[in-house]
Amino acid sequence: MRTFIYLLIGILFGITMFKSEAASWFRIYEMFQMQSFHMYGIIGSAVGLGVVITYLIKRFKIKSAYGEEIKFIPKNKSVSRYLFGGIIFGLGWALAGACPGPMFTLVGAGFAPILIVIVFAVLGTFLYGIVRDKLPH
Protein backbone atom coordinates (compact mmCIF):
# COMPACT_ATOMS: atom_id res chain seq x y z
CA MET A 1 0.00 0.00 0.00
CA ARG A 2 2.87 2.39 0.83
CA THR A 3 4.35 1.88 -2.62
CA PHE A 4 1.04 2.94 -4.16
CA ILE A 5 0.93 6.04 -1.94
CA TYR A 6 4.53 6.92 -2.93
CA LEU A 7 3.59 6.47 -6.58
CA LEU A 8 0.62 8.84 -6.17
CA ILE A 9 2.82 11.41 -4.41
CA GLY A 10 5.37 11.13 -7.25
CA ILE A 11 2.67 11.63 -9.87
CA LEU A 12 1.32 14.67 -7.99
CA PHE A 13 4.88 16.06 -7.74
CA GLY A 14 5.39 15.51 -11.48
CA ILE A 15 2.12 17.23 -12.38
CA THR A 16 3.04 20.15 -10.10
CA MET A 17 6.50 20.41 -11.69
CA PHE A 18 5.01 20.37 -15.18
CA LYS A 19 2.14 22.77 -14.52
CA SER A 20 4.38 25.26 -12.68
CA GLU A 21 6.74 25.14 -15.69
CA ALA A 22 9.63 24.11 -13.40
CA ALA A 23 10.39 21.36 -15.94
CA SER A 24 10.33 23.80 -18.88
CA TRP A 25 13.62 24.15 -20.73
CA PHE A 26 12.56 27.68 -21.71
CA ARG A 27 12.03 28.69 -18.05
CA ILE A 28 15.42 27.22 -17.11
CA TYR A 29 17.05 29.06 -20.01
CA GLU A 30 15.38 32.31 -18.85
CA MET A 31 16.75 31.75 -15.35
CA PHE A 32 20.33 31.21 -16.53
CA GLN A 33 20.03 34.30 -18.74
CA MET A 34 18.73 36.34 -15.75
CA GLN A 35 15.63 37.26 -17.78
CA SER A 36 12.92 36.05 -15.41
CA PHE A 37 12.26 35.61 -11.69
CA HIS A 38 9.96 32.59 -12.26
CA MET A 39 12.43 29.80 -11.47
CA TYR A 40 14.15 31.77 -8.70
CA GLY A 41 10.73 32.15 -7.07
CA ILE A 42 10.06 28.40 -7.28
CA ILE A 43 13.52 27.50 -5.96
CA GLY A 44 13.34 30.13 -3.22
CA SER A 45 9.92 28.90 -2.13
CA ALA A 46 11.22 25.32 -1.98
CA VAL A 47 14.26 26.34 0.08
CA GLY A 48 12.11 28.41 2.44
CA LEU A 49 9.62 25.59 2.88
CA GLY A 50 12.49 23.15 3.47
CA VAL A 51 13.92 25.37 6.21
CA VAL A 52 10.54 25.64 7.94
CA ILE A 53 9.83 21.89 7.70
CA THR A 54 13.32 21.02 8.97
CA TYR A 55 12.84 23.37 11.91
CA LEU A 56 9.45 21.81 12.72
CA ILE A 57 10.88 18.26 12.52
CA LYS A 58 13.67 19.21 14.94
CA ARG A 59 11.46 21.28 17.26
CA PHE A 60 8.63 18.75 17.64
CA LYS A 61 10.75 15.60 17.13
CA ILE A 62 8.50 14.44 14.29
CA LYS A 63 9.04 10.79 13.35
CA SER A 64 9.31 9.27 9.86
CA ALA A 65 6.46 7.40 8.18
CA TYR A 66 8.03 4.23 9.65
CA GLY A 67 7.87 5.64 13.20
CA GLU A 68 11.65 6.15 13.40
CA GLU A 69 13.39 9.26 14.71
CA ILE A 70 14.54 11.61 11.93
CA LYS A 71 18.22 12.43 12.48
CA PHE A 72 20.12 15.32 10.92
CA ILE A 73 23.80 14.46 10.62
CA PRO A 74 26.18 17.45 10.37
CA LYS A 75 28.18 17.53 7.12
CA ASN A 76 31.70 18.62 6.30
CA LYS A 77 31.33 22.29 5.40
CA SER A 78 34.37 22.56 3.11
CA VAL A 79 33.74 25.48 0.74
CA SER A 80 35.77 23.98 -2.12
CA ARG A 81 33.74 20.75 -2.30
CA TYR A 82 30.43 22.65 -2.49
CA LEU A 83 31.84 25.14 -4.98
CA PHE A 84 33.20 22.40 -7.24
CA GLY A 85 30.06 20.24 -6.90
CA GLY A 86 27.82 23.24 -7.53
CA ILE A 87 29.71 24.15 -10.68
CA ILE A 88 29.44 20.58 -12.03
CA PHE A 89 25.74 20.40 -11.12
CA GLY A 90 25.04 23.83 -12.65
CA LEU A 91 26.87 22.99 -15.87
CA GLY A 92 24.94 19.73 -16.19
CA TRP A 93 21.70 21.54 -15.46
CA ALA A 94 22.44 24.22 -18.05
CA LEU A 95 23.52 21.71 -20.71
CA ALA A 96 20.64 19.29 -20.17
CA GLY A 97 18.03 21.93 -19.45
CA ALA A 98 16.80 19.92 -16.46
CA CYS A 99 17.85 18.94 -12.97
CA PRO A 100 16.99 15.50 -11.49
CA GLY A 101 13.34 16.13 -10.50
CA PRO A 102 12.20 17.58 -13.82
CA MET A 103 14.08 14.91 -15.80
CA PHE A 104 11.58 12.29 -14.68
CA THR A 105 8.71 14.74 -15.07
CA LEU A 106 9.71 15.23 -18.70
CA VAL A 107 9.73 11.45 -19.30
CA GLY A 108 6.20 11.30 -17.88
CA ALA A 109 5.17 14.17 -20.15
CA GLY A 110 6.41 12.23 -23.18
CA PHE A 111 9.76 13.91 -23.93
CA ALA A 112 11.73 10.76 -24.83
CA PRO A 113 15.11 12.47 -25.60
CA ILE A 114 15.50 13.23 -21.89
CA LEU A 115 16.10 9.49 -21.42
CA ILE A 116 19.64 10.10 -22.75
CA VAL A 117 20.18 12.64 -19.96
CA ILE A 118 18.82 10.21 -17.36
CA VAL A 119 21.15 7.42 -18.55
CA PHE A 120 24.18 9.71 -18.22
CA ALA A 121 22.99 11.09 -14.87
CA VAL A 122 22.77 7.54 -13.52
CA LEU A 123 26.18 6.73 -15.02
CA GLY A 124 27.68 9.86 -13.42
CA THR A 125 26.19 8.94 -10.06
CA PHE A 126 27.61 5.43 -10.38
CA LEU A 127 31.07 6.76 -11.26
CA TYR A 128 30.94 9.18 -8.34
CA GLY A 129 30.21 6.25 -6.04
CA ILE A 130 33.33 4.52 -7.33
CA VAL A 131 35.70 7.50 -6.90
CA ARG A 132 34.07 9.13 -3.86
CA ASP A 133 36.55 7.78 -1.32
CA LYS A 134 39.49 8.90 -3.45
CA LEU A 135 38.34 12.54 -3.69
CA PRO A 136 39.72 15.21 -1.33
CA HIS A 137 37.51 15.92 1.68
Q: Report if residue 99 sits inside a domain.
A: yes
CA end-to-end distance (rounded Å), the chain: 41
Q: Considering the domain boundaries, does residue 86 fall inside one?
A: yes
Is residue 54 in a domain? no
Number of domains forming the structure of the chain = 1
Q: Say if 46 falls within a structural domain.
A: no
For 77-124, write each residue's pLDDT tens digit.
888 888 988 898 888 888 888 888 889 999 989 999 999 999 999 999
- Among 6, 23, 5, CA closest to 14: 23
Angle in degrees, 0-180, between the axes of helices 114-131 and 79-96, rounded to the nearest 10: 160
Q: For residue 9, what are the domain limits?
A: 2-36+74-134
Residue 29 binned pLDDT confidence (cut-offs 50, 70, 90): confident
- Examine residue 97 and state whether it is found in any structural domain, yes or no: yes
| pLDDT tens string 32-54 | 899 999 999 999 999 999 999 99
